[in-house]
A and B are shown apart, each in its own frame.
Chain A
Amino acid sequence: MKGQADQKKEATKTVKKVRTTNKSAPVRLWVKAAFTGFRRSKVQQNENQALLKIQHVEDVASSRFYWGKRVAYIYKAHTLKSNTKFRTIWGRISRSHGANGVVIARFGRNLPPRAIGSTLRVFLYPNRA
């Protein structure tokens, strides 16, 4: 009997509170952009220039804000590199394209065609203020 009481006392010992990580909502500081394809004519395309449709950007005046901003294509690979399976291809938005807010981005290495239709991240830096 005494043994059981002792055991219960030990079980109700308070557990030291472990410092938990930041539990606030995730913060997004990038704008979604769809990679619609490479700059092209009907029968020829230029893979050095990627066309990006940035969310909520519908005209040239709005797209000017994004000139120079850095863009990242993030994808997963099977092997670990630098401790992570995520890999990125970085680029920058170089110019506008057409009248409806589409934008051309150039990347350090050209985007793979399988990225067509995927979402890229357009960051708000460098801020040209």
Chain B
Amino acid sequence: MPAKKRTTRIGNWYKADDEKVHFIRKRKAPRPSSLRKINPGQVLILLAGRFQGKRVVFLKQLKSGLLLVTGPFKINGVPLKRVNQAYVIPTSTKVDIKGVDASKIEDEYFKRTQAQRRKNEQGFWAKRGELNEEQQTNEKKRLEEKRKTQKSIDDALIATVKKTALLKQYLGARFSIGKTTRPHDLIF
């Protein structure tokens, strides 16, 4: 009988034993961490980073699991920002975020553009960081859009914040550990 023509290549190596299949991870996308006792509108204290100690308002949890927060920017200089739950202390203070529409903001909003990534190039690649006319106008547009989004979210928030006494000053103040502060005893 004529041999069937082989369609796949035969390698040089034949394994003596059956191949052991390594552990195959079935879950491709990371599972977003569950929200621990943090509700929209709650005031959080940032524990690390440039804005450490600042009190910010929590808006919603993004699909990646990170928390979307805003200062509001005019009050304490914190813009729309993503924060990890573990780097935040939730407080019992709540702000009503009924008029605030953060539904359009997702993780893509925070993705760096090519122009941003190339901004700090040095040496041989420095030319890539320089923007031509079109890229400059695009950057300007992008920043304008950002300012608009920030303003649209913050305006409703600031109006609510102003209604409660001292809340604006509270959000503007930073949390700090003093000489006698015992964080393990504090009830936030």
B15 within 8 A of A: no
Does the CB pair A125–B183 fall under 8 Å? no
B117 within 8 A of A: no
A92 to B121, CA, bound (A): 35
Contact partners of B87 in chain A: CB under 8 A: 125-127
Contact partners of B53 in chain A: CB under 8 A: 27, 29
Interface digits, A93-129 against B, CB 8 Å rule (1 contact, 0 not)? 0000000000000000000000000000001111111
A126 to B36, CA, bound (A): 13
Secondary structure class of chain A's binding surface, majority of residues: loop
A30 within 8 A of B: yes
Given A126-B86, A129-B36, A129-B90 in contact, is the A27-B182 Cβ separation under 8 Å?
no
Of residues 20 to 48 in A, which have CB atoms within 8 Å of B's CB atoms?
24-31
Contact partners of A128 in chain B: CB under 8 A: 86
Chain A, interface size: which category?
Answer: 20 to 34
Secondary structure class of chain B's binding surface, majority of residues: loop
How many chain-B residues does the 8 Å CB contact rule pick out? 23
Contact partners of B181 in chain A: CB under 8 A: 56
A31 to B180, CA, bound (A): 10
Given A125-B86, A125-B87, A127-B47 in contact, is the A30-B184 Cβ separation under 8 Å?
no
Interfacial residues, chain B to chain A (CB-CB below 8 A): 36-37, 47-48, 52-53, 85-90, 174-178, 180-185
Report 25 cross-chain contacts, Cβ distance below 8 Å, ordered by A residue. A24-B174, A25-B176, A27-B52, A27-B174, A27-B175, A27-B176, A28-B176, A28-B178, A29-B48, A29-B175, A29-B176, A56-B181, A56-B182, A57-B182, A62-B185, A63-B184, A64-B184, A65-B183, A123-B48, A125-B48, A125-B86, A126-B87, A127-B85, A127-B86, A129-B85
